[in-house]
Amino acid sequence: MRYTVNVNNYLDYIVHHSRDFIMLIDKNLRYVFVNKAYEKIIGKEVQEIIGKSVVEIWGMERFKKVMQKPLVDCFNGKETHYVSETPFGPEFKVIEFRFFPYREYEGGPVTHALVFKHDISRLSDLEWRLMTYEFRDQETGLFNRQSMNIILDREIQKSQILKDERPWGLFLIVIENLSEIRRLRSTDIATLILENSGLRLQAFLGKSTTIFRSEADELSALVMDLKSESDAAFLAESILSQLSTPYGSGVFEVRPQCRIGIALYPRHAASSAELIMRSQAAINSARQESASYVLYDLELHAQAVEKLRMLDSLRKSIYDNSFELYYQPIVDGNGKIEGAEALLRWHHPELGLLSPDRFLPIAEEHGVTRELEKKTLFSAARQLAEWTSYGVYISVNISASLFEDPALIELLDSAMNQAGITNPAQLRLEITESESLRNTAKAISRMQEFKERGYLIYIDDFGTGQSSMEYLKKLPAEVLKVDRAFVEGIEKNSQDRKFLSLIVELGRLRNFQIVIEGIENIDQFHIIQKMQVNSYQGFYFSKPVIAKTFEEMLKKNIQLPA
Q: How many residues bind ligand C2E (CB under 6 A)?
A: 24
Q: Would you give the distance in Å from CA 259 to the centre of its chain?
A: 17
- Which residues contact Mg ion by CB under 5 A? 397, 430, 460-461
Question: Among 422, 427, 433, 468, which residue's Cα sits nearest to residue 450?
Answer: 427
- Residue 378 as a binder of ligand C2E (CB under 6 A): the answer is no
Q: Does 433 bind ligand C2E (CB under 6 A)?
A: no
Interatomic CA distance for residues 500 and 531, integer angstroms: 9
Please, what is the minimum distance in Å from the beta carbon of residue 122 to ligand C2E?
Answer: 54
x/- map, 138-177, ligand C2E, by CB under 6 A:
----------------------------------------
Per DSSP, the three-state class of 215 is: strand
What's the min distance (Å) between Cβ of 431 and Mg ion?
Answer: 9
Look at the alpha carbons of 404, 395, 520, 501 in this order and tell me if their dihedral is positive or negative: positive
**Which of 520, 529, 551, 558 is close enough to bind ligand C2E by CB under 6 A?**
520
**How do 323-331 and 253-254 pair as beta strands?**
unpaired
Interaction between residue 343 and ligand C2E (CB under 6 A): yes
Reported residue count of the chain is 562
Q: Which residues lie closer than 8 Å to 235 by C-beta, 6 or more apart?
A: 169, 171, 223, 226
Q: Which is nearer to Mg ion, 269 or 479 (CB)?
A: 479
Q: Residues 418, 381, 312, 298: is their CA dihedral positive or negative?
A: positive
In whole angstroms, the minimum distance from the beta carbon of 395 to Mg ion comes to 7
Residue 155 or 460 with smaller CB distance to Mg ion: 460
Residue 329 is a binding residue for ligand C2E (CB under 6 A): no
Nearer to ligand C2E (CB atom), residue 328 or residue 383: 328
Contacts of 138 (CB under 8 A, 6+ apart): none
From the list 94, 67, 99, the residue with the least C-alpha distance to 83 is: 94
Binding mask 223-262 for ligand C2E (x = CB under 6 A): ----------------------------------------
Q: Does 463 bind ligand C2E (CB under 6 A)?
A: no
- C-beta separation of 399 from 373 below 8 A: yes
Q: Running DSSP on this structure, what letter comes out for residue 246?
A: P
Q: Which is nearer to ligand C2E, 64 or 315 (CB)?
A: 315
- Rounded Cα distance between 559 and 539, Å, is 14
Amino acid at 561: P
Cα 442 to Cα 369, 455, 469, 475: the distances in Å are 21, 17, 17, 10
Which of 530, 531, 542, 423 is CA-nearest to residue 480? 531
Q: How many Å separate Cα 375 from the centre of its chain?
A: 33
Nearest to 466 by CA among 186, 254, 180: 180
- Estimate to the nearest angstrom the gap between the alpha carbon of 38 and the chain centroid: 49
Q: Which does 520 bind (CB under 5 to 8 A by kind): ligand C2E, Mg ion, none?
A: ligand C2E
What sections of 162-271 are H helices per DSSP?
Answer: 178-184, 187-205, 229-243
Binding partner of 376, given ligand C2E, Mg ion, none, CB within 5-8 angstroms per partner class: ligand C2E
Q: 67 or 342, CB closer to Mg ion?
A: 342
List 39, 218, 433, 461, residue binding ligand C2E (CB under 6 A): 461
> Which does residue 373 touch among Mg ion, ligand C2E, none (CB within 5 to 8 A, set by kind)?
ligand C2E
Selected range binding ligand C2E among 97-105, 166-174, 353-361, 447-455, rule: CB under 6 A: 353-361
Contact pick of 518, 536, 547, 560 for ligand C2E (by CB under 6 A) = 518
User: Considering only residues 137, 155, 373, 433, which one is a binding residue for ligand C2E as defined by CB under 6 A?
Assistant: 373
Q: Of 328, 426, 436, 467, which lies in the binding site for ligand C2E, with binding defined by CB under 6 A?
A: 328
Please report whether residue 460 would count as binding ligand C2E according to CB under 6 A. yes
Binding site for ligand C2E (CB under 6 A): 328, 343-344, 355-357, 360, 373, 376, 397-399, 430, 432, 460-461, 484, 517-520, 538-539, 544
